[in-house]
Structure 1
Amino acid sequence: MRVVQPQGTRGSLKWLQIAIERGGAMLCPDAFPSIRWVSPLKGDDYAEYRDAAFLDVIGQGHLKEALGSFWPKRGPQWDALGLAGDRAVLVEAKAHLDEFFSPPTQASEKSLSMIGTALSGTAARLQARTGTDWTKVFFQYANRIAHLDFLRQHRVDAHLLFVSFIGDEDMGGPTSRDEWRAAFRTADYALGLRRRHALSPYIHHVWPDVSKLA
């Protein structure tokens, strides 16, 4: 699904669009190859992509059937997508903490069964602490990790990039990367994830200061 977006006027939508229009250098993690951004682009109506459409954008359209068996429709809508050589970069962007503390999934019973299977499979591969239901806590964070796992299970050199903006006074966002780091540590603990797990090398963080984009 291709989801057209307005030109952002506040929050992560605004800052991410601006950062990418300026070349996206400040979104690139340290020691990471230069990223060619393929979404959101001004010439593409700032569109964001989800489900099978996001696979086409990153050149993995052959996995559409597999994705359909892994996750129901209306899966994650990626804030940005990029390519760094053979690497596919999936982006989740935030400008304030309330966005990060997502509610449990509201999926139907049929979809919930598929989602639960996908999340429990990822949790098992990451040797997460048992007893945590990923459909109920930090669901958005959990499903992004699960999609990273899906792609890597299918031999795609996929990477998940969390863009956590700092200094967004309009949104009352964090003023330091330490605030964001604490939030991610909380989420990892709630999901039963170890500090280092099998997907850790493929999960990256950047903390752009919005004052450099204003």
Structure 2
Amino acid sequence: MGRVKQPVGKRGSLKWIQKAINQVPPRKLDELILPKLTGAKSIAWTSPISSDDHAEYSDAAFLEKIKASDLTAKLSKFWPARGPQWDALGRSDRGDILLVEAKAHIDELCSSPAGASSDSLRKIRAALRKTVSYLGANPRAPWTEIFYQLTNRLAHLYFLRTHGQKAWLVLVNVVGDTDMRGPASPQEWEAAYQVVRHVLGIKDRNRLSKYIVHVYPSVSDFAA
């Protein structure tokens, strides 16, 4: 549990993030991320790696991947099992932990914690309340209802940062995926995130904003 093998991606964000991470260096994705990390010069990716079945990680296995296994007990108190399954994980040469969420079309922003038990929902809501309070957010809709895939990632960024980890949330917003009818420009993604922040009641500048990186690779960057 916590390590999930993935098939070779044939379309959408699964396809593009696998291609991005498994490119022979220099990787285009690295070139987009590194300027956002002051002083960092390289990134070592630990998932999804082709020789590791393109596996994605969550829970204790995710903490092990980012070398933070000492937080396993604390994470289990903060968030229930079957937490976020990260699209990619990596670390910069200066020790920055990179938590990646990749998307190829705007509909992927919309989700809820489907299938969660009542006990799990109680823990999730408590964790999200702490995150909302930390950010000084004023939600216009419950954080569990519509943009949950982003809010649970924000909660984990909050958890790691408040436990002394140099974590960054990297949002990889793919441009030009016509098969998925995805945005044709970074501006379309930016407009979508503006709506998301409005609904979630998050100010553009908040206590976590400087640790959130948006990048906008084109499908042509990973077509080879």
C-alpha contact 1:104 1:137 (8 A) present in aligned 2:
no
Greater shift in the superposed pair: 52-61 or 19-28: 19-28
| Partner SS state of residue 77, structure 1 | coil
Please show how residues 10-25 of structure 1 align to structure 2 within 5 Å.
Answer: 10-22=11-23, 23=25, 25=27
C-alpha contact 2:111 2:145 (8 A) present in aligned 1:
no
User: Does structure 1 residue 203 correspond to structure 2 residue 212?
Assistant: yes
Provide structure 1 residue ranges, at least 5 long, that are not aligned to the other structure.
none
1:78 is matched by which residue type in structure 2?
A: W
> Which residue is equivalent to 1:72?
80
User: Does structure 1 residue 96 correspond to structure 2 residue 97?
Assistant: no
Instruction: Quickly say closer, same or farther: Cα 1:64–1:93, change in 2 above 3 A.
Output: same
Please show how residues 59-138 of structure 1 align to structure 2 within 5 Å.
Answer: 59-84=67-92, 85-103=94-112, 105-129=114-138, 132-138=141-147
Distance 2:26 2:113 in 1: 32
C-alpha contact 2:131 2:158 (8 A) present in aligned 1:
yes
> Which residue is equivalent to 1:9?
10
> Which residue is equivalent to 1:46?
54
Distance 1:152 1:82 in 2: 16
Normalising to structure 2: TM-score of the pair? 0.92
Distance 2:9 2:121 in 1: 32
1:95 is matched by which residue type in structure 2?
A: A
Distance 2:112 2:160 in 1: 25
2:11 is matched by which residue type in structure 1?
A: R
| Partner SS state of residue 195, structure 2 | helix
Cα displacement (A) at 1:24: 6.7
Cα displacement (A) at 1:109: 1.1
Distance 1:38 1:100 in 2: 24
Greater shift in the superposed pair: 196-205 or 7-16: 7-16
Report how many aligned residue pairs link the two structures. 214
Normalising to structure 1: TM-score of the pair? 0.96
| Partner SS state of residue 91, structure 2 | strand
| Partner SS state of residue 180, structure 1 | helix
Cα displacement (A) at 1:184: 1.0
User: Does structure 1 residue 170 correspond to structure 2 residue 179?
Assistant: yes
1:161 is matched by which residue type in structure 2?
A: V
CA RMSD of aligned residues (A): 1.3
Distance 1:70 1:77 in 2: 16
Instruction: Quickly say closer, same or farther: Cα 1:126–1:210, change in 2 above 3 A.
Output: same
Distance 1:24 1:153 in 2: 33
C-alpha contact 2:137 2:201 (8 A) present in aligned 1:
yes
Could you list the per-position Cα deviations for residues 105-124 of structure 1 after superposition, in whole angstroms to 9, with x for gaps in the alignment? 54211111100000000100
Distance 1:132 1:155 in 2: 30
Cα displacement (A) at 1:136: 1.4
C-alpha contact 1:105 1:136 (8 A) present in aligned 2:
no
Distance 1:157 1:96 in 2: 29
Counting aligned pairs with the same residue, the percent is 50
Could you list the per-position Cα deviations for residues 127-167 of structure 1 after superposition, in whole angstroms to 9, with x for gaps in the alignment? 00156421113111111000000000100000000001001
